[in-house]
Amino acid sequence: MSKSTEKVLITGSNGLLGQKLVKYFQEHNIEFLATAPNENKLSFCPNKNFAILDITNMVKIEEVIQSFNPTHIINTAAMTNVDACEEQETECFNVNAIGVANIIEEIEGTDIHLIQISTDFIFDGKKKLYAEEDTPNPLSNYGKSKWRGEEVIFESGYNNFTILRTSIVYGVGEKLNKGNIFSWAINELRAGKDLNIVNDQFRTPTFVDDLVQACAKVVDSNEFGVYNIAGGELLSMHEYIVKVANYVGADVKKVHAITSEKLNQKAQRPISSGLDIDKAKTELDYIPTEFVLSLSKIDLDN
Ligand SMILES: NC(=O)C1=CN([C@@H]2O[C@H](COP(=O)(O)OP(=O)(O)OC[C@H]3O[C@@H](n4cnc5c(N)ncnc54)[C@H](OP(=O)(O)O)[C@@H]3O)[C@@H](O)[C@H]2O)C=CC1
Ligand SMILES: Cc1cn([C@H]2C[C@H](O)[C@@H](COP(=O)(O)OP(=O)(O)O[C@H]3O[C@@H](C)C(=O)[C@@H](O)[C@H]3O)O2)c(=O)[nH]c1=O
């Protein structure tokens, strides 16, 4: 498909991934509609390219999709606070699973390409590195709801979809509602504070720009199926934050290793939920940015 015919609808455009996608499509002159459940918070996104869309609202889904008539929908919208999902199960499933079902219901019978963003938290973390065909066994409401979001796509029989599973997405954004461990750790370290970071949760942290590149590649080439899109290194969260601390010139002795038991998060996390990216490397030419290089591309003063 040539770029001039692409019309990309982005859900969750005020979120970290959503806003980076908006920027990418804007910079590449690809027609897009940014959507979010409340007002447009992005200084760089013109209001003519924005519409209110709560994916739990079927009437709005119909209205926005029918009026914009996209060729692609990238569904980044989700309830992403994993501990809040544990306490607000209904809201969590409404957004992360029923929201996806709503989109599928509206696009059934069309050839709109749905790109759904999913997570390593659909796995139980017993295996270290997960491939696309591994069997999900989510531990938390968040993981269960995101897996249900994938299942509704598989069960619908709708074939024009790509699911991109990712893990610990890092980067900085504008007016984000939900902070992330990356920005939080940098702010705390710069304020001279001590951090307690778990050394028994292993992830493949993902540079948000790499995830954007993968989405763009999927839009451009219309590759369908399930792909893991993550960083190239399996790290404990402690190793990860030590690397970040080293980069920003903070005292790494302030990054203390603790166990998950001690951190006592509300929702159970997988121990090791790294994502194996071999399939994406082969089929999408996906190459994650080397960690220190990725940090050099992030404006850490914003
Ligand atoms: N961040 C990570 O480490 C990982 C993220 N993912 C997945 O990647 C995707 C993007 O995550 P990320 O950008 O980091 O998350 P964010 O929380 O930054 O963005 C998610 C966005 O979804 C919006 N949203 C919430 N409910 C609705 C709704 N009912 N209708 C429309 N939009 C809604 C939020 O709005 P508001 O701004 O108002 O809160 C928020 O802007 C998500 O699907 C997430 O599950 C997967 C693995 C790791
Ligand atoms: C706040 C905090 C977190 N951590 C660790 C726990 C965890 O392994 C990691 C990140 O914690 P968070 O609670 O920020 O994120 P968490 O909910 O664990 O991260 C997940 O987010 C959702 C959206 C996903 O889909 C997952 O892929 C994953 O990225 O940092 C500490 O070690 N110490 C701390 O003080």
pLDDT of residue 4: 57
> Could you tell me the distance, in angstroms and rounded to a whole number, from the CA of residue 177 to the centre of ligand 1?
9
65 lines ligand 2 (CB under 6 A): no
> Could you tell me the distance, in angstroms and rounded to a whole number, from the CA of residue 206 to the centre of ligand 2?
13
Residue 141: which CATH number? Answer: 3.40.50.720
> Could you tell me the distance, in angstroms and rounded to a whole number, from the CA of residue 181 to the centre of ligand 2?
6
Q: What is the pLDDT of residues 107-166, one digit of tens each?
A: 999 999 999 999 999 999 999 899 999 999 999 999 999 999 999 999 999 999 999 999
pLDDT of residue 142: 98
| 288 assigned to some structural domain | no
Q: What is the pLDDT of residues 243-289, one digit of tens each?
A: 999 999 999 999 999 999 999 999 999 999 999 999 999 999 999 99
Closest by CA position to 13, among listed 160, 149, 174: 174
| 208 assigned to some structural domain | yes
Taken in order 99, 167, 265, 272, is the CA torsion positive or negative? positive
Confirm whether the ipTM is greater than 0.85. Answer: yes
Query: Which pLDDT band, with edges at 50, 70 and 90, does 293 fall under?
Result: very high
> Could you tell me the distance, in angstroms and rounded to a whole number, from the CA of residue 240 to the centre of ligand 1?
22
| 221 assigned to some structural domain | yes
> Could you tell me the distance, in angstroms and rounded to a whole number, from the CA of residue 252 to the centre of ligand 1?
30
119 lines ligand 2 (CB under 6 A): yes
d(CA 155, CA 19): 30
| 267 assigned to some structural domain | no
Of all atoms in ligand 1, which is nearest to the CA of residue 56?
A: 29
Of all atoms in ligand 2, which is nearest to the CA of residue 195?
A: 35
Structure token digits, residue 192: 């001279």
d(CA 144, CA 147): 5
Q: What is the pLDDT of residues 29-40, one digit of tens each?
A: 999 999 999 999
Query: Which pLDDT band, with edges at 50, 70 and 90, does 302 fall under?
Result: low
d(CA 273, CA 203): 6
74 lines ligand 2 (CB under 6 A): no
Structure token digits, residue 154: 């598989």
Pocket of ligand 1, beta carbon within 6 A: 11-12, 14-18, 36-38, 54-56, 76-80, 95, 99, 117, 119, 146, 166-169, 176-178
237 lines ligand 2 (CB under 6 A): yes
Beta strand 72-75 with 195-198 is unpaired
CA distance readout (Å), 152 to 30, 35, 99, 180: 29, 22, 10, 28
Q: How many domains in the chain?
A: 1
Number of neighbouring beta carbons within 10 Å of residue 4: 9
Q: Name the residue with the closest Cα to ligand 2, atom 32.
A: 197
| 176 assigned to some structural domain | no
| 238 assigned to some structural domain | no
| 261 assigned to some structural domain | no
pLDDT of residue 3: 47
Ligand nearest to the CA of 235: 2
Q: Report yes or no: 236 and 199 within 8 Å, Cβ to Cβ.
A: yes
Q: What is the pLDDT of residues 199-245, one digit of tens each?
A: 999 999 999 999 999 999 999 998 999 999 999 999 999 999 999 99
Ligand nearest to the CA of 211: 1
- Write out the residue range of the structural domain in which residue 156 sits: 3-170+204-231+273-282
* Mean predicted lDDT score pLDDT of the chain: 96
| 291 assigned to some structural domain | no
SS3 content of the chain, % helix, strand, coil (to 5): 40, 20, 40
